[in-house]
Structure 1
């Protein structure tokens, strides 16, 4: 079993104090978004997007890096942010609200919380206004285009977590020490989420039939309690959950184990800020503003983790500060691959750079793993136009 990285992650965490096991076990619960104004009409599935709004998927490459800023301030605009569950893996959008980054860019942000990254990306594709974004992934772009060629094409405008963020977590007292030990076990994951897609891939890579395990559909907010109370044997979610689980499990006399999917050679979904391509084409000033705000806020959260987490839990009431901070630090290393000390000396916009070679090398693996039939020109799935090369 591969645990070297997990041990390093846990060793790197600050020593944090617990404030009560019941509250700590629920750190992944989706807190109400008190500052968000949900849209009056819910976004339909991506398959319902009208065909006439869908340009072809073979758009010209858009990887040229821009070096100039808009000469005049952008006109105020309302943009919907679809979040795939309110999680400590992505506190930067909330920090951007609290720090006034959106306001300074003349963006009035409205937040709609959904259950899972894939649902959020589908909502962006289905948003009829086109003024919307999410912390999605290039994989989700490919899946939507492959399954519904009439859906509006999407594009990522700044990079996020470029490592595979998903992990399967378990209590070591359950007798799990290798993937083969999952046979006969019950695994919880929110169906329709990116984590669920990757669980299918992980099981297939390990030669484990889905008939040999029991998969329960449990929402992100209930995953940790389900594991800690013994309702299930393992859960699948983003790796940052290792942090909060590792605080609570010892109180129960147990230890958290995990299989980081990145360590099993499973291609990363390559997350980033995803918008409709027509927003980039028709309103490049808005696309630029979204890219710059989200990338600068990611840099802010990498360099000022405590202030970022304070902003996050202020907006999402009921979160425990120590656990959320621990989760964010794990996410920075395990999911984003960002060293805060190195980031402090970088141009903030450099954190949003997509490595063209990495994307070109990863796409064939994603197509194979997720049985994607459509062939893609990698340069149509992302742009480095609004960010800086490291």
Structure 2
């Protein structure tokens, strides 16, 4: 696990930043390691976008959404990156916790089933009668019942093989299971690195097959946001600009990432970034509506899908989980 952190502290006024009395410190916790999809945040540092907003940003690696959310809720970090379904459950279990999502980054979550075509798995309908490898704590596995329901799959006709995260892809590569649950870009790339031909892999993105859930979002401590609304909006604008930089020049974005994580495989992380951009971030909906916001009807349906596998302690209330109040309205979120 990578624990190095990196800080930008540039002269904001010299770059034409808003005239803040002083630079606002906004430490930012990721949900995972410094991998390809994190490149936009480093581009926002290196290309001066945070500094132009009068913000000092320190980025720290994380250990999953269930690590990032409490860090923000307790105020240890004012901003973070976490899965929306995990945030909804956290707020249900911790009513009144000062944390909410303010910018959707993964319009489509990366939850997926990755199967071997040579073992007869090409689409959802092929899973019955097969062996599915699933780590019990896996986020994609947590969504599998809703995915199965949406596709009319009888889970009783699938042999579920509990596997560990380190053995998940090797077991599929060795044909000990027919398919696995996981993040699309992670499992696919791990399998190709294990020698499985790419044309023998089917990536069944749950979001393309009835799963209405949203993916990862930028979350904020609401106490911090209420006290620093301009800084939060500036942070989101800088992230959008960093993302645009990486879309325009993915190789440069990965070079910035590798500076922070020298052990990273440049080619692998470039592939991982491109898959995340194409499948999860710059979707057709984002091109039409812009980055960061959500569709309220879809969000309501997604909450009902969560209810299929999770018993709410309190009646869910969409306004607790996401607000668009801090999104910039200057066109910086457009990806036409």
- Of the three residues 30, 51, 54, the one matched with 1:82 is 30
Other-structure match for 2:173 = 228
Q: What pairs with 1:284-295 in structure 2 (closer than 5 Å)?
A: 284-295=229-240
Other-structure match for 1:155 = 100
Q: CA deviation at 1:358?
A: 4.2
Partner SS, residue 263 of structure 2: coil
Q: What pairs with 1:1-390 in structure 2 (closer than 5 Å)?
A: 32-36=2-6, 70-72=18-20, 74-104=22-52, 105-114=54-63, 116-125=64-73, 127-129=74-76, 131-149=77-95, 152-179=97-124, 180-181=126-127, 183=129, 185-189=131-135, 191-203=136-148, 205=150, 206-209=153-156, 212-218=159-165, 223-230=168-175, 232-241=177-186, 244=189, 247-248=192-193, 255-338=200-283, 350-360=290-300, 362-368=302-308, 370-372=310-312, 373-378=314-319, 381-388=322-329, 390=334
**CA distance, structure 1, for counterparts of residue 50 and residue 168 of structure 2:** 32
Indicate conservation of the 8 Å contact 2:118/2:200, yes or no. Answer: yes
Q: Once the two structures are superposed, what CA deviation does each residue of 1:35-74 show, in whole Å capped at 9, x if it has no partner?
A: 359xxxxxxxxxxxxxxxxxxxxxxxxxxxxxxx954264
Residues 102 and 182 (structure 1), Cα distance of their counterparts in 2 relative to 1, 3 Å cut? farther
Partner SS, residue 333 of structure 1: helix
Residues 236 and 325 (structure 1), Cα distance of their counterparts in 2 relative to 1, 3 Å cut? same
**CA distance, structure 2, for counterparts of residue 216 and residue 362 of structure 1:** 27
Partner SS, residue 27 of structure 2: strand
Partner SS, residue 20 of structure 2: coil
Q: Return the TM-score normalized by structure 2.
A: 0.77
Partner SS, residue 352 of structure 1: coil
Q: Once the two structures are superposed, what CA deviation does each residue of 1:179-212 show, in whole Å capped at 9, x if it has no partner?
A: 45354524133x4453232234334552204983
**CA distance, structure 1, for counterparts of residue 18 and residue 296 of structure 2:** 25
Q: Once the two structures are superposed, what CA deviation does each residue of 1:342-388 show, in whole Å capped at 9, x if it has no partner?
A: 97xx9xx9423344454355444444454435221437622243323
Q: How large is the Cα RMSD of the aligned pairs?
A: 3.5
**CA distance, structure 2, for counterparts of residue 121 and residue 194 of structure 1:** 15
Partner SS, residue 269 of structure 1: coil
Q: What is the aligned length?
A: 316
Residues 86 and 225 (structure 1), Cα distance of their counterparts in 2 relative to 1, 3 Å cut? farther
- Gap regions ≥5 residues in structure 2: 8-16
Residues 199 and 317 (structure 1), Cα distance of their counterparts in 2 relative to 1, 3 Å cut? farther
**CA distance, structure 1, for counterparts of residue 171 and residue 116 of structure 2:** 11
Q: Once the two structures are superposed, what CA deviation does each residue of 1:255-280 show, in whole Å capped at 9, x if it has no partner?
A: 11122101221112243211122121
**CA distance, structure 2, for counterparts of residue 112 and residue 242 of structure 1:** 20
Partner SS, residue 351 of structure 1: coil
Deviation >6 Å, runs of 4+: none
**CA distance, structure 1, for counterparts of residue 249 and residue 105 of structure 2:** 17
Residues 204 and 124 (structure 1), Cα distance of their counterparts in 2 relative to 1, 3 Å cut? farther
